[in-house]
Structure 1
């Protein structure tokens, strides 16, 4: 395998830890991108990768994205991420989660974990048996904590509304067509918010059962994963895995807006410019999907309640508008503008 230093996504990570526990079958990567602002915070992803190198690339990109996300959300946290390499059956045991918790604890608070794709609140309870450096734990009524998914969904929904107002001059999603890629936790929340406001939905997911369930709940229609990005729609909303916007898919887009909750949507930095050249407004993913980490941060630091979480999430559209405004003034694409802002905030301008 190429050494991490030689990878294009390395980006001067402060620490990368490769964790192995043969007894319980744990293979994990913990990537700490930056602790310039505070302890590196970012969820743990449990996923089966075709190649170990793919897991490392994912960890590096997600970790850097968390640095940018936390900085742009105004949180006193740095950025990190962990990936647990699942087998094909995605076997997950309490022993494996405990071993992962011990690895997190060994870092002494430089990294704080929470749930991400493939992990649940119940999993975080198991991880917390081995470390205190964990968030996303069950919450009592009115308190922060628990599943960050609904908070991510709310932020994405508010970001979509801001994008629609900026690009189309509309204050509501009523009557607009949203093409949703993904039918998981975040996409479901986005769909329910959009449906309540009168949007028309097309839904695609690799799990067709999930797609049909979400379409039934929202009165939407199911489309294939091959066609969703190319649908004629007012908004295309990627809410699955990353690197789905590349030269080919961008050329096939038939929408004025791309705004969704998936991490690392652009396959390369040049793809932000490709969107701009086509006149498509892009909502940088780590800005629009910050609702979950806002909730996690407030829980972990204990510096506020659900009202503060809501107020912080409502700042997402404001930051997006600042990005779009600077982009319009400078001619740079929104992704490049957001990256430059984030880099200044973490001391890497």
Structure 2
């Protein structure tokens, strides 16, 4: 399998670069999972980890997920990821942050174009401009630096498209008016998604670990809740938009929703959680399908030099991708996750895996 595993996977990556940044003295990890379809792409995550090896595990998971994301989205790119593992409690001043970005740039440059990076948790388009001073293999720089800017709006728009497909499947209409949605995480993507859903007339429950975001959520007419309550609230669709690992074997039995559809990466704590969701009758659309809007937009604009209108159309086509996966899953009597896996394998040219019936 190229994605979906419990704990640290068997290494099936093309190359993994691990080095101590000579300037920052922090672990810099670049995982290139696959270049079968083209240059590997993936965000640069600057995050705190109890142990740098946890950052390595994240890089391996996330890069494999990017391969799947690009394949299912029909992009001519493979998957990669950069992770800079910051010790718990460490604060990065401006000089140290600059040192980190220069270390990342040099690591990427050493791969000779095998991989290009963009923003992720803990980094911004402005950071990509800094990295771009030392390597051309970067995307989502601000527009004034020749990039496509913040990918969050496109990721939110793609998530909305996926939610429309699920709404049509569950309720017979793509309109989200009155649909009860519990949105966990009001970060850059989550807040934009909340605004889109409010405009749609959805019945919103929102949460975030930062209570300061309560006012912004309530200004949209949403109900505020703690993340713990929002996760298991009585709702139609749960929308994870924070960090990964939110769906565990302990949480799934307490879910009170019909579907889980959100942009957070690596939502499943372990691979077997997908089966738990299915046995409970809860539709789970794989996060790498839902969250593809950002990379679709950036690559359409920056690599293929298409217009913003074309990029938006391709992002909104996630609705059709999810609808097609529903059709395949029903025809083959498998889960949406299995259907997505098989589609990715087909596009990657890897041997198809025998799909077990969805009841298994």
CA gap of 1:114–1:266, structure 2 versus 1, over 3 A, is same
Q: Which of 143, 149, 152 is the matching residue for 2:152?
A: 149
- Counterpart of 1:252 in structure 2 is 254
**Partner SS for 1:320:** helix
Q: What 5-or-longer segments of structure 2 have no aligned partner?
A: 1-5, 352-360
Q: Distance in 2 between matches of 1:338 and 1:41?
A: 20
Q: Which residues of 2 match residues 283-322 of structure 1 at below 5 A?
A: 283-322=285-324
RMSD: 1.8
Task: Quote the Cα distance in structure 1 between the aligned partners of 2:17 and 2:10.
Answer: 13
Secondary structure at 2:38 match in 1: coil
The answer on whether the counterparts of 1:204 and 1:224 sit within 8 Å (CA) in structure 2 is yes
Whether the 8 Å CA contact 1:167–1:281 is kept in 2: the answer is no
Show CA shifts across 1:79-118 (max 9, x none). 1011111232341521221121111011011010000011
1 CA distance for matches of 2:91 and 2:158? 30
Aligned length in residues? 342
Q: 2:114 maps to which residue?
A: 110
Q: What does 1:170-181 align with in structure 2 at a 5 Å threshold?
A: 170-181=173-184
Q: Work out the CA distance in 2 between the residues paired with 1:298 and 1:98.
A: 27
Q: Aligned-pair distance for 1:298?
A: 2.0
d(CA) in 2 for partners of 1:346 and 1:217? 45
Runs of 4+ in structure 1 deviating by more than 4 angstroms, as ranges, are: none
8 Å CA contact retained: 1:183, 1:214: no
Please tell me whether the aligned partners of residues 298 and 304 of structure 1 are also in contact (alpha carbons under 8 angstroms).
Answer: yes
| 1:107-140 alpha-carbon deviations (Å, 9 max, x no partner) | 0110100000110111111111111000011126
TM superposition shift of 1:23: 3.1
2:201 alignment partner in structure 1: 198
Superposition pairs for residues 203-222 of structure 1, below 5 Å? 203-210=206-213, 212-222=214-224
- Residue 266 of structure 1 is matched in structure 2 by 268
Write the deviation string for residues 27-55 of structure 1: whole angstroms up to 9, x where unpaired.
Answer: 21100110000010011011001122211
In the alignment, the residues of structure 2 paired with residue 98 and residue 10 of structure 1 have an alpha-carbon distance, to the nearest angstrom, of 30
> In structure 1, what is the Cα distance between the partners aligned to 2:147 and 2:297?
6
Secondary structure of the residue that 2:67 maps to in structure 1?
helix
- 1:197 CA drift (Å): 1.0
Q: Distance in 1 between matches of 2:19 and 2:140?
A: 22
Q: Secondary structure at the match of 1:43?
A: strand
CA, structure 1 residues 144+123, in 2 after alignment: closer, same or farther (shift >3 Å)?
closer
Q: 1:348 deviation in Å?
A: 2.5
**Which stretch has the larger CA shift, 235-244 or 212-221?**
212-221
Question: 2:163 pairs with 154, 160, 168, which one?
Answer: 160
1:98 has 2:99 as partner: no
CA distance in 2, matches of 1:151, 1:112: 19
Q: 2:346 corresponds to which residue?
A: 344
TM-score (norm 2): 0.91
**1:250-273 Cα shifts (integer Å, max 9, x gaps):** 111111111000011122222222
| Offset at residue 326 of structure 1 (A) | 1.3
Structure 1 runs not aligned, ≥5 long: 1-5
Aligned match of 1:3:
none
